[in-house]
Amino acid sequence: MNAEVKHAAMKPTEIESFFATLRDANPRPVSELEFTSVFELLAAVLLSAQATDVSVNKATQRLFAIAPTPQKMLELGVEGVTEQIKTIGLFRNKAKNLLETCRLLIERHGGEVPRSREALEALPGVGRKTANVVLNVAFGEPTFAVDTHVFRVCNRSGLAPGKTPLEVEAQLDARVPAAYRVGAHHWLILHGRYVCQARKPLCWQCRVAAQCAFGPKTRHHEHLLRSG
């Protein structure tokens, strides 16, 4: 991930308004990954690296129907899991990591997904971002999963500038008001996915353009292009 041109950081009053606006538009944000258990969530997030949620959901709909638990997943074996997820990028490595994760869940955690960051990050294929998603979505922890969308929105808007995902996460941790912490990463992901897009942000449709350091300039540029 590479930070865009650095813009002025949002002021605390702007951050409050930014999240209040996103919350009003979507009071109960949820992950677009489909799952029915904490284990299925962990598996889906593990499989989602460098893949779209849509492609993951298509694969896991088939996979979870026959392997909804770590034990059932192990019984499928590498070939069985690979066959179910072969439409997802990096599917061979992901199949191996998923199966090794299932083995460790059974051996170390009684088949349950652990609630600590340290234990989660000790699982194959589970990095800080994946652990943050599980801690937030499954257990309601106020963590921030910084994917490419969150990284872009935070740098572009001035909400939480940083050169690395970890820097952005630290900025979010320091700057997001308590009332918005649990839902923050959902709002940011969805905003980046559907409005603050990478190549052509839809600033003229943006509800939080008034708080964004990037928005007004871009809206003016779009106006000139349309009227030119």
Query: Catalytic site residues?
Result: 129, 147
The two three-digit tokens of residue 76, written as one number: 């499928």
d(CA 202, CA 85): 33
d(CA 156, CA 30): 23
DSSP string, 131-174: HHHHHHHTT--------HHHHHHHHHHSSS--SSHHHHHHHHHH
d(CA 99, CA 143): 26
Residues 18, 21, 24, 28, CA torsion sign: negative
d(CA 43, CA 177): 30
